[in-house]
């Protein structure tokens, strides 16, 4: 037995000696600047079993709670947008009496002055060399593709005019459009910036109209076009280009295709509910435009009368474009928040299913362990 033990000790000694020789050799190689391969320590394995399942369940619970909070925010923003759309509707309806009477007077005066030599600066038609585009966008985001559609429409119109050799000047109404075109100064000429606001007033429209009026009368621009979004329904808005100046003495508004819309035929949108859903109804309103009696004599010069009426009509058109744009923005925000709420609801439902399945699997595993331990 002693001989066997001594033999085993003699066999083990060379192994330990070889190990020590390897360590010495590696240190010498490192000292001499030679590359030495070293094994990285093994990574600590992630916890498995009940601890890992509990961690996954906590992550799922936190995510479900976060999605539920986001859904509450999007639902609240949807209701706020709906309330603001109603206010925009009331503003349009509240401005109807003034617009109707203005259109009546404008038609009557034009009928009375037929055949007379009338020279009004706002109706002057000149060869178009410079065009001003008044771009109406929103001040905020989270409204789907509303701002993007208006900007793309403007870029397309600028490209068309530039191809025809016409210079373009931009007036941005709304922070989103102002920021976009301001960053591209080399490509677009931005003349002035205005804020759209949540509820455009007559003063806001007057400030923009004054800028348009001064540029057109001074002949810095030969034509003025409005780029805004026409409010059609809660799920449909149409970017529109409308010619604002030069005006016609009949009070007609024409688009870029030359199609003129009679100012007496207007529409008012109404936000209502049907079967628990928000819907929009557009009512066509026809304004009676009777001419003045032939016995009426104007004390003022016909040019002075139209000089006073046409700027008012232009201001009303600018204000109406702002109101349409704000209503379209709010409708787009309502739709975007509704889609976000629906997506959050579906995602929360899917995550709840995953959470319940993992929780059930955890409980089943614990029961199996208890049964197996009891049987032992």
From the list 136, 143, 168, 254, the catalytic residue is 143
CB 139 within 8 A of CB 174: yes
Sign of CA dihedral 343, 345, 351, 354: negative
| 143: annotated active-site residue | yes
Catalytic residues, by residue number, are 143
């Amino acid at each position: 037995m002693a001989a066997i033990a001594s033999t085993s000790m003699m066999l083990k000694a060379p192994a330990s000696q070889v190990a020590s020789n390897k360590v010495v050799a590696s240190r010498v190689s490192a000292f001499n600047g030679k590359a030495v391969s070293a094994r990285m320590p093994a990574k600590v394995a992630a916890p498995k079993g009940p601890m890992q399942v509990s961690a996954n369940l906590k992550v799922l619970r936190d995510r479900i709670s976060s999605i539920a909070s986001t859904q509450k925010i999007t639902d609240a923003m949807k209701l706020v947008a709906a309330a603001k759309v109603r206010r925009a509707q009331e503003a349009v309806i509240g401005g109807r009496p003034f617009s109707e009477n203005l259109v009546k007077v404008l038609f009557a005066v034009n009928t009375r002055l037929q055949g007379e030599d009338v020279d009004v600066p706002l109706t002057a038609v000149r060869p178009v060399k410079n065009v001003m585009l008044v771009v109406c966008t929103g001040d905020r985001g989270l409204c789907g593709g509303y701002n993007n559609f208006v900007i793309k429409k403007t870029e397309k119109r600028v490209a068309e005019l530039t191809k025809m050799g016409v210079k373009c000047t931009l007036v941005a109404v709304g922070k989103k459009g102002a920021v976009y075109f301001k960053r591209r100064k080399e490509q677009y000429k931005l003349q002035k910036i205005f804020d759209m606001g949540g509820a455009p007033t007559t003063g806001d429209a007057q400030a923009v109209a004054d800028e348009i009026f001064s540029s057109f009368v001074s002949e810095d621009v030969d034509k003025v076009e409005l780029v805004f979004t026409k409010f059609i329904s809660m799920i449909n808005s149409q970017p529109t280009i409308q010619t604002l100046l030069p005006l016609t003495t009949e009070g007609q508004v024409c688009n870029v295709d030359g199609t003129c819309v009679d100012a007496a035929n207007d529409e008012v949108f109404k936000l209502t509910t049907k079967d628990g859903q928000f819907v929009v109804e557009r009512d066509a309103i026809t304004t009676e435009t009777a001419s003045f009696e032939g016995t009426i004599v104007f004390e003022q010069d016909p040019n002075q009368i139209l000089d006073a009426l046409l700027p008012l009509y232009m201001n009303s058109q600018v204000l109406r474009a702002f109101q349409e744009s704000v209503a379209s923005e709010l409708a787009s925000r309502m739709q975007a928040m509704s889609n976000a709420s629906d997506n959050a609801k579906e995602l929360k439902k899917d995550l709840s299913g995953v959470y319940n399945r993992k929780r059930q699997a955890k409980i089943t595993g614990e029961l199996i362990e208890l049964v197996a331990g009891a049987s032992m």
